[in-house]
Amino acid sequence: MRIITIQQLFSQWSGANAITQYSPTIFGYLGVTGMESQFLATGIYGIAKFTSCLAFALFIVDFLGRRRSLMTGIVLQIVTLAYVGTYLGITGNMSTAAVETSQAASRAGTAAIVAISIHAIAWSIGWFSMPYLVGSEIFPIRIRSFNVSVSMAFHWAFYFGSSRSMPRYYGKVSRVIGWALPKAVTVHKVAYPSPEDMRVERRDGKLLADSKKQEKEDAKIQSDMRIEDVSRI
């Protein structure tokens, strides 16, 4: 249960849903002027996020594997949010007119908008589906529905906290990820299970550390069964 709770924590506090909620304001900070343009940018961002979530959840995550997908998404989120945080930190003290007249700042703002969209795709690769996939795989059937319900309660609690805290972190994104996302990488590498290679009957709520060891045990059992069959003949 602790792993699922930590997954929900990092999934929400990686910022993807909070960015969606405040995207018109964020695009305004990145140089998109006018309400119509901000809402248009928000719509494009939402379409990119929806299509990437659908594609990775249905087709790609099982092909890449849980750990590889999650690590790829985390790294991309670190890079994109670091860039956006750096941009906001540099241009935060500049006036809107100064940013618009500066060719370098204008190009950097365009790159920051692209980075926000890449961040949404990165979240789709990693944190979007992992809590639900792993939560449905590591618990035994008799308690699975209860644990998934508790997991979703944490999901909405962390979503509420993240969305309420987001306005305080405008221009400070790089500081937040400097603390939070390296911890996410550490938790992922040390404690993250990879149950997709386990047989369903062997999951029974226990995170067996080494799938290769399981394969050897399975091979030994099958070999013993073949020997018994031959001896009977």
- pLDDT tens digits along 1-21: 677 777 777 777 777 787 888
CATH 1.20.1250.20 holds for 2-196: yes
In this prediction, residue 150 carries a pLDDT of 83
How many whole angstroms separate alpha carbon 127 and alpha carbon 78? Answer: 13
Residues contacting 108, CB < 8 A, separation 6+ = 87, 90, 91
- pTM equals 0.66
Roughly what angle, to the nearest 10 degrees, separates helices 141-165 and 130-138? 160
How many whole angstroms separate alpha carbon 31 and alpha carbon 53? Answer: 27
In this prediction, residue 214 carries a pLDDT of 53
> pLDDT digit string (tens) for 70-90?
888 888 888 888 888 788 777
> pLDDT digit string (tens) for 109-135?
888 888 888 888 888 888 887 777 777
Q: Residue 49: is its pLDDT beyond 80?
A: yes
Q: Considering the chain, what is the average pLDDT of its residues?
A: 73
